[in-house]
Structure formats: structure tokens, C-alpha cells
Amino acid sequence: MITLSGIIGSGKSSLTGILAKELGTKAFFEPVEDNPVLPLFYKGNEIAAQKRAAGDEEATNPYAYLLQTYFLNRRFKMIKEAMQDDNNILDRSIYEDELFMKMNTDLGNATQVEYRIYKSLLNNMMEELPYAAKKKSPDLMITIKVSYETMISRINKRGREYELVKNDPSLVSYYHRLLGYYDEWMKSYQISPLLVIDGDRYDFVGSPTDRIQVLEMVERKLQTLGKLSVERTTQMLARHQQLLKQ
């Protein structure tokens, strides 16, 4: 099993689809469009910021805890389903979930009590995961690391109103802070092998050459981990070279 991670707009879903097609496996995508809480959360951030500016230093986002428990429930369900069979790929996983709740707590959008309850729930879920599925952890975590500029460019391109900085200027500081939390998360992640892809350097969606380079990074990593045979890797690399000549 492969899991993808990365900030908003890093290209997780796109790379998940590319990898699933390349490796002949099933892709699991986290639903976003049908999320009833996400737009409320972004609006709640704006409301909390306005209240703090007006002098209410203890103002929180009333939807922060709700959003994170909503995501946690969805991700737990998705990873259990993905772990029932071999060779599946998830565009988001439960393993990076806590960083969002921690950041929202540090920002004052959630309370320390909410954070402790959330962590207790997450820990209970993680203890149950090996019993609910075939695996305790993914075989490989792939993180797509991007700059603020790349992230904003991709957010603007897909055009979700509640993610756009032009609609909510407070998102500028929120996104910058989130990038920092992802940097810390990458340094501390130890649940499985981790492969970091430079999303600024490699345009795996728009450039066939970059896409092949990224695929080869992943395939060589899987071979090193003993998850992909030398023969299969060699066949894939040869096919890539043929594609580049076309």
C-alpha cells in the first residue's frame, strides 16, 4: 500500500491517479466536493479572526474540531477499505491528520480540551487499525513538497471558492503556517519509509518527462524496499525510455 501526503494543491490526487495507472492498482481518493463542513471551517476561521481583532482573545473556530473529526472518520474508513487488498494507493491518509488539529489548536481555532479529545480518539483508532485491516502501516509514504507560490498557483487553477486567497486574505498566513507544520511533520514521520518528491521541480501533470522521472523515483524506491521485483522495475524503465523517444 502507498499513501500520499502534502499540502493543499500539491498534486496528491493527480499523482495518485498516475501511480495507480502505472502500477495497475486501485486508487482511493478522499471525497472533497461533498464535504459539508469544509466551507463552514474556512468561514469559521474568518469569523474567529474578526472576533480576535475586536478584542475577544479566546475566540475559536466553532467548526475546527468538527472538521477534523469528520476527516478522521472518513480517513479511517478509507484506509480500512484500502488495506483489505494488496497494492492500493491513497491520495490522503490518517497519518498526517493530527498536524491539522495541532495547528488549529496553536492558532486558537480549537481549544486544548478539543485537542486532547481528538488525540485520544486518534490514538484509539490507530490501535484498532491492525485488527481492522491487513496492515499496520503503509509500505511507502510519498510526500509532495511544494512552495507557497506553487501551492497558490494550483489552488487558483482548480478554483474552489473557499480556498482562494482573494476571497479570504487571512488564508495567506494560514497557508504559510501550514507549510511550516508540514516541514516539521516530514522530519518526525517514522511510521513507514518516506519518499519526498519536489513538486516545484517536477510537473508530473503537465510534463511527460517529469512524470516519467517521478514514476522512476517511486519504482526504484519500491524495488529497494522489496515491494517491486527487479524484473518488473526493469520492464517499466525500458517502457519509459521508449515513451521518451516518441
Per annotation, catalytic residue among 56, 85, 86, 91: 91
Q: Exposed, middle or buried by CB within 10 Å (0-12, 13-18, 19+), for 110?
A: buried
- The residues spanned by each domain of the chain are 2-201
Our answer to whether residue 91 is catalytic in this structure is: yes
Domain 2-201 has CATH 3.40.50.300: yes
Q: pLDDT band at residue 246, thresholds of 50, 70 and 90? A: low
Grouping H, G, I as helix, E, B as strand and the rest as coil, residue 195 is: strand
Task: Return binding residues for substrate.
Answer: 30, 42, 68, 92, 97, 163
Cell of 44: 469559521
pLDDT value at residue 57: 81
Task: Return binding residues.
Answer: 6-14, 30, 42, 68, 92, 97, 154-158, 163
Per-residue pLDDT at 222 exceeds 90: yes
Instruction: Tell me the per-residue pLDDT of 173-209, one tens digit each, with 9 for 90 and over.
Output: 989 999 999 999 999 999 999 999 999 999 999 999 9
Instruction: Tell me the per-residue pLDDT of 69-120, one tens digit each, with 9 for 90 and over.
Output: 999 999 999 988 888 888 899 998 899 999 999 998 998 889 999 999 999 9
Per-residue pLDDT at 133 exceeds 70: no
**DSSP 8-state class, residue 215:** H
Highest mean pLDDT among 91-95, 161-165, 230-234: 91-95
Q: Exposed, middle or buried by CB within 10 Å (0-12, 13-18, 19+), for 246?
A: exposed
Mean pLDDT of the 49-64 span: 87
CA 176 to chain CA centroid, Å, is 16
CA 158 to chain CA centroid, Å, is 17
